[in-house]
Structure 1
């Protein structure tokens, strides 16, 4: 184990991260992640997923709880966090997670399934390695040809205020001092930042975080961060391809800007340049994205004419809101809405779309586009219009093609 990894290991075993109960993170559903790319699995074996840097296991336990037929391998260098994760999984009766202590710089001790892992998660981990590029390159070698890697790395532009605080802490309390002695000083300075660089930012109330969270955020012994240019180079050097952002709305000029003249100018830029503008104007501390191997590609958008022949599934990351009022021997629907991941709830006023949302809200198995078209045709909706509405559902990520 290299010296940097050893320091990171010691820090996280003293302050095992993250705190909190099992959670359902964006991108938890394996079928959904695999739907983003063109290549398909050629095997009926159970899906194999690697969580590369699981910590105390809240993410992998949440994902495994909802997907009992998927096999998860969860690795970390932190023996304390792994022990807690094993106990939590055992207490919940989960038998589809295998916890292994392993170093991402070598991956020694990790049993790779035949053909590679279908999906690899690594959230907030690679940027703490002695050499993040080595870590990513190692993960690409054990990824199945059809597979995807879901990564979260720190965004340098979105963390500038935090880095200013960290520099201040380092002046007051040198990095070589014991972490336990640096925490009180760090909290004092972080509290002072509430009225300056942290005001009205995501960092507000950082000084109140539990020790494990505060240490990870403000006193970490090793981390790097990335801007868009760095990120693109990082991906290319691993011989991988960018597929999409976990939440595309964060990086959409159409969602971020309203001025027509500005939008016209921005549309003249490449997507890469658009992302560079967005990272400079908005506070985005985390870069959540999905990549695939060089022999794979992002899946192309289908046309309305192809809807009928598609198999569709309701997105597990979509929530539905239906307000009903009971009357005398009757029931009236007051409102219909939906929400995808952490986006704002969207109300539905279009009667055709509302009809589909009501249908999808109770749908737990796959169905065909043709079935949806027939349902709408019974209400007098033209096939072409029905296909366009269903295509809108795909674009909004309420449904997806597995």
Structure 2
């Protein structure tokens, strides 16, 4: 184990991260992640997923509990966090997670399934490695040809206020000193930052975080961050291809800008240039995205001719709200709204779309486009209108093609 990895390991074993109960994170559903790319699996064996850097396991425990037919391998260098994660899995009766202590710089000890992992998930890990590029290259080498990697890396522009604080902490207290001796002064300085450089932004309240969270954020022994330019190079160097952001709305000029003249000018730029503008104007402390191998590509939009025969499913990251009023011997639907991931809830005003939403709230299995067209036809929609509704549901990410 190299010196940097050893320091990182010691830090996380002293302050095992992250804290908290099992959680449902963005991108938890494996079918949804695989739907983003064109190449499909050629086998019906159980899906194999690697959580590369699981820590104390809140993410993998949440994902495994909702997908009992998916097999998870969860690795970390942190023996303390792994022991807690393993105990939590056993307490919850989860038998579809295999916990392994392993170093992403070598992957020694990781048993790779035949053909590679279908999905690799790594959130907030690669940027702490001695060589993040080697880490990503290693993950690429054990990914199945049809597979995807879901990554979260630190964003340089969105962390500028934090880095100013860290520089201040390092002036007060050498980063070579023991973490426990640095904590009191670091917390005190961070509390001051709450009324200055942290006021009103993503970092406000950091000084209140538990020690494991605070150390990870403010006293980490090794990390690097990326802007769009360096991120693109990082992906390319690994022989990988960018597919999409986990939350595309956050990186959309159409969603971010309202002035028509400004928006028109922005849309003359390449997507890369649009992203570079967004990272400079908005707080993006985390870069969360999906990549695949260079010879794969984003799944094409389903054509009109394919709609009827295509299989659809409700997006597991979509949630629905139905407002009802109870009357005398009857019930009236007052409103229907939906939410995808962390986006704002949207109220449905179109009657046909609202009718479909009501049906989707109860849908737990796949269905064909033809079946949806028939149902809409029974509610008065012609075929063209029904197809339009399907495309709208796809565009809003309420349904997807597994």
TM-score range, shorter chain: over 0.9
Counterpart position of 2:4: 4
Instruction: Supply the distance in 2 between the matched residues of 1:265 and 1:398 (Cα, whole angstroms).
Output: 30
Instruction: Supply the distance in 2 between the matched residues of 1:180 and 1:56 (Cα, whole angstroms).
Output: 21
CA displacement, residues 124-179 of structure 1 (integer Å, 9 cap, x when unaligned): 00000000000000000000000000000000000000000000000000101110
Matches within 5 A, 1:372-383: 372-383=372-383
Counterpart position of 1:50: 50
Counterpart position of 1:310: 310
Instruction: Supply the distance in 1 between the matched residues of 2:113 and 2:27 (Cα, whole angstroms).
Output: 22
Counterpart position of 2:283: 283
Counterpart position of 1:176: 176
The answer (yes or no) to whether the contact 1:22–1:59 under 8 Å persists in 2 is yes
Distance apart, 1:306 and its partner CA: 2.8
CA displacement, residues 93-146 of structure 1 (integer Å, 9 cap, x when unaligned): 000000000000000000000000000000000000000000000000000000
Counterpart position of 2:144: 144
Instruction: Supply the distance in 2 between the matched residues of 1:327 and 1:281 (Cα, whole angstroms).
Output: 50
Secondary structure (helix, strand or coil) at the match of 1:309 reads: coil
Counterpart position of 1:328: 328
Give the unaligned 5+ runs of structure 1. none
Q: Please identify runs of 4+ aligned residues in structure 1 that moved more than 4 A.
A: none
User: 2:85 matched to 1:85?
Assistant: yes
Instruction: Supply the distance in 2 between the matched residues of 1:369 and 1:83 (Cα, whole angstroms).
Output: 46
Counterpart position of 2:246: 246
Instruction: Supply the distance in 2 between the matched residues of 1:119 and 1:399 (Cα, whole angstroms).
Output: 20
Counterpart position of 1:61: 61
Instruction: Supply the distance in 1 between the matched residues of 2:22 and 2:29 (Cα, whole angstroms).
Output: 15
The answer (yes or no) to whether the contact 1:240–1:294 under 8 Å persists in 2 is yes
Secondary structure (helix, strand or coil) at the match of 1:255 reads: helix
The answer (yes or no) to whether the contact 1:18–1:212 under 8 Å persists in 2 is yes
Counterpart position of 1:21: 21
Instruction: Supply the distance in 2 between the matched residues of 1:255 and 1:329 (Cα, whole angstroms).
Output: 44
Alpha-carbon RMSD = 0.6
Distance apart, 1:304 and its partner CA: 3.7
Distance apart, 1:195 and its partner CA: 1.1
Instruction: Supply the distance in 2 between the matched residues of 1:183 and 1:189 (Cα, whole angstroms).
Output: 10
Matches within 5 A, 1:89-168: 89-168=89-168
CA displacement, residues 263-298 of structure 1 (integer Å, 9 cap, x when unaligned): 000010000000000000000000000000012111
The answer (yes or no) to whether the contact 1:309–1:370 under 8 Å persists in 2 is yes
Instruction: Supply the distance in 2 between the matched residues of 1:268 and 1:301 (Cα, whole angstroms).
Output: 23
Q: How many residues align?
A: 402
Instruction: Supply the distance in 1 between the matched residues of 2:321 and 2:346 (Cα, whole angstroms).
Output: 9
Counterpart position of 1:202: 202
The answer (yes or no) to whether the contact 1:322–1:337 under 8 Å persists in 2 is yes
Counterpart position of 2:345: 345
Secondary structure (helix, strand or coil) at the match of 2:105 reads: coil
Instruction: Supply the distance in 1 between the matched residues of 2:295 and 2:40 (Cα, whole angstroms).
Output: 12
Distance apart, 1:382 and its partner CA: 1.2
The TM-score with structure 1 as length reference comes to 0.99
Secondary structure (helix, strand or coil) at the match of 2:308 reads: helix
Counterpart position of 1:301: 301
Give the unaligned 5+ runs of structure 2. none
The TM-score with structure 2 as length reference comes to 0.99
